[in-house]
Homo-oligomer: A and B are copies of this chain.
């Protein structure tokens, strides 16, 4: 599992990279959690923390595999998805840095129920779940972190069920655009979505065929709700998009 370069790089540089990555981790969401660890615990984490690089579209793990690691996205963008009937794919969740993923199946005592792949070149750190489990046992805050995270995801998943089954195509695509903007944000112009995804991914996110994603997107362009330049999507009229997403 350890990346090839790891063996090739001088120990000093390797340690620096890990330290840098961990610093990044510790400056985010879970900072309070990591800081309550004592020195010995911190040592264990640093020793076990392994960094991986994934190319654009590379699989990180696949449905059906045994979950062993907590994955922590340090850089890039990751999609969690499920292969359905007749080659259709449903994107279930989007991961941004710094977010954790891949732990649900382990906690549920199941194999992976969905797959994860990099949207763009991504750097990911792993910790063995056995270690995470130990840490949860010694750290109430960490337990609460996962309870909170799982609860929020479950709520999102239930909402998604209704969005994807009951809204019409325009509503679903508008919803997807809103979700993308909420999740990955905008470029400096405050309009351009900070994610550049294929029409096919957009379709897989909003439960439609690629043709319909393209068609509907064009519709939004002619209604001046967005502009499109290749994969660069600019949101012009967010209120109206939200309205369409609610039902229109």
Contact = CB atoms under 8 A, between A and B. Distances in A.
Contact of A151 (B104, B162, B165): B104
A161 B160 contact: yes
A158 interface: yes
B147 A107 contact: yes
A85 B247 contact: yes
Given A85-B166, A147-B143, A161 B90 contact: yes
Interface in A108-126: 108-110, 113-114
Given A114-B158, A162-B84, A151 B92 contact: no
Interface residues of A, number: 42
A153 interface: yes
Contact of A155 (B85, B104, B158, B160): B104
A168 to B, nearest CB: 9
Contact of A92 (B109, B114, B161): B161
A154 interface: yes
A157 interface: yes
- Kindly report how many copies of this chain are found in the complex they form together: 2
Given A137-B140, A166-B90, A82 B150 contact: no
A191 interface: no
A107 B137 CA distance: 19
Interface string A200-226: 000000010000000000000000000
A152 B167 CA distance: 27
Interface string A78-106: 00001011101010100000000000110
A179 to B, nearest CB: 14
B82 A158 contact: yes
B247 A108 contact: no
8 contacts: A84-B162, A86-B166, A90-B165, A108-B148, A113-B159, A143-B144, A161-B161, A165-B207
Interface of A: 82, 84-86, 88, 90, 92, 104-105, 107-110, 113-114, 136-137, 140, 143-144, 146-148, 150-155, 157-162, 164-167, 171, 207, 247
